[in-house]
Structure 1
Amino acid sequence: MLALLHTSQAHVLTFDRLRGEVAPTLTLYHIVAEHLLDEARRRGVPAVADQVTQQVQLAAEAGARAVLCTCSTIGALAESAAAAAGIPVLRVDRPMAAAAVEAGTRITVLAALATTLAPTSSLIEQEAARAGRAVEVRAQVICGAWDRFEAGDLDGYLDRVTAALAAVTDADVIVLAQASMAPAAERGATAIPVLASPRLGLRAAAAL
C-alpha cells in the first residue's frame, strides 16, 4: 500500500486514474489535509512541520509501505519525516526535477502558487548537484491562476497555465510546479518539452 499525502481533494481522482496506467496492482491510501497548505501560506512553511510529520506517521501506522507527498509546498517537510515514520517518503516533484536536469541546462519553472517557487527551484538545484551538472533555473508565478483553482474554475486555471507555457521561448525544458497543472502539458501550447509531476512521481513511488 502506498499512502498519498494531498493538500487538495482534486488530486485523488488524478492519482487513482494514473494508478490504473502506472501500477494497477498497487493499493492507494489517500490522505487529504487541505489545512496544511492553508497554514503554510498563512504562517510560513516551517510552521506546519510537526503536522506534516504526524500525517506521515499516521500513514505508516495505517500500513503504508511508502508515502508520496503530492504538495510541492510541503514536500521537503514530508521527506524529512521519513526517519520518524520509518518508511520511505518521496515528494512528487523530485523525479520531475531529476528529469528536468537530464533534459537541459535552461530550466523554466512555472508555478500557480508563490510558495512553491523556492522549494521547486531548490529541488532542481539539488538534483543538478547530484548529477554534477550546471543549470540555470528561472521561475515565475502565473498571475491569477491559483485564484481560478481555488474558485473551482479548473478550465480557467488551465487556460492561464497554457498561456504561460506558450509565452516561454528560451528554455530547454519547462517544469510545472503544481501537480494540478499537469493537464496543461497535454494541450500542445509549446514545442519545448514540458514536465509534470504526477505520472513521474507515482511511478517512482510505486518502485519504492
Structure 2
Amino acid sequence: MKTVVAVYTGQGLAEPMRDIYRELLPDCRIVTIVDDSLIHDVVKAGQVTPAVTRRLIQYYQNGAEMGADAIFNTCSSVGEVAELARGIVDAPIVRIDDAMTYEAASKYERIGVLATLPTTLEPTKRLLRRQAEKLGKPVAIVDGLAEGAYDALVGGSPERHDQILLETAERVAGQADALVLAQGSMARMEERLAALGIPVLSSPYRGVLAVKKLLEEAGRGR
C-alpha cells in the first residue's frame, strides 16, 4: 500500500479532500498533518515567515520518515516552501496548485486569479508566470483579490464570504478567458462561478490527480 502524507495549514480543506482521496487514491494510506497555526502566522505577518518555513520543512521531513511515497502540500500560500523543500526532503512533494496553474497557463492567454488573501494571490500569480515561462508563452494575469471575504469567513459569515467572492469574480470575468481559484477551499464555489460563462479551474481534484500520476509513474519505473 502506498502512503501519501497530506500537509494542511488549516482545518477547512481536510474534510472535503477525503472524498477525492477515496475516489482517486482508494488503495493508498492517507496520513494527515494539520497545523492551523501556520496560516494564522502567515496572515498575521503578511508573508511566509522563517519560522513557518522551518515548521513546514519539518513536517515534510516527518512525512518522509513515515515512509511517504508522496507528500501533498495542500496550501497555496506556502507552496514556495514546498518547492524549496524538494531539494531537502527525501520524498517527492506535490503542490496542490501545480497541475491547475499548468493547465491554465497552457490553455489561456488572460487568466483571472481569485483569492481572499494577498498571501495566496501573490504566490499563485508567481507560479502561473513560471508555468507560462516553461511553456514559452505570454499570459496576462488579472488580480481578483476578494477583499473582506476571508474576514467574513473566519467571522462566521460564509454567505458574505461567498457573495464577496462572486462579486469579485463578476468583475474579473470580463477581463479574463478563465478563472483560477487560488485557494483549495474555494472549489465548492466552482459550479456557481462557472455560471459566469468562462472556465473555472480549482486545485483539489487536479492536485490529487497529480499525486496519483506521480505514484503510477514511480510504480512503472520499478
Q: TM-score range by the shorter chain?
A: over 0.9
User: Secondary structure at the residue paired with 2:197?
Assistant: coil
> Where does residue 42 of structure 1 map in the other structure?
44
Q: Structure 1: how far apart are the matches of 2:79 and 2:156?
A: 23
- Select between 39-48 and 54-63 the one with higher mean Cα deviation: 39-48
Q: Structure 1: how far apart are the matches of 2:8 and 2:99?
A: 17
> Where does residue 73 of structure 1 map in the other structure?
77
Q: Report the aligned-residue RMSD.
A: 1.5
Q: Relative to 1, partners in 2 of residues 1:107 and 1:2: Cα closer, same or farther, differing over 3 Å?
A: same
Which amino acid in the other structure matches residue 18 of structure 1?
Answer: I
Q: Structure 2: how far apart are the matches of 1:14 and 1:50?
A: 27
Matches within 5 A, 1:185-204: 185-187=190-192, 188-204=194-210
Q: 8 Å contact 1:7–1:33 — kept in the other structure?
A: yes
TM-score normalised by length of structure 2: 0.88
Q: 8 Å contact 2:10–2:38 — kept in the other structure?
A: no
- Select between 147-156 and 99-108 the one with higher mean Cα deviation: 147-156
Q: Structure 2: how far apart are the matches of 1:156 and 1:28?
A: 33
1:98 maps onto 2:102 in alignment: yes
Percent identity, aligned pairs only, is 33
Q: Structure 1: how far apart are the matches of 2:28 and 2:164?
A: 34
- Offset at residue 3 of structure 1 (A): 1.0
Q: Which runs of 4+ in 1 moved over 3 A?
A: 152-156
Give unmatched runs, 5+ long, in structure 1. Answer: none
| Equivalent residues, number | 208
Deviations 1:32-91 (A, max 9, x none): 111111222233314221111101001111221111111111111022112322111111
- Select between 110-119 and 38-47 the one with higher mean Cα deviation: 38-47
* Bigger Rg, structure 1 or 2: 2
> Where does residue 205 of structure 1 map in the other structure?
211
Give unmatched runs, 5+ long, in structure 2. Answer: 215-222
Which amino acid in the other structure matches residue 122 of structure 1?
Answer: R
> Where does residue 58 of structure 1 map in the other structure?
62
> Where does residue 180 of structure 1 map in the other structure?
185
Matches within 5 A, 1:1-208: 1-43=3-45, 44-47=47-50, 48-167=52-171, 168-187=173-192, 188-208=194-214
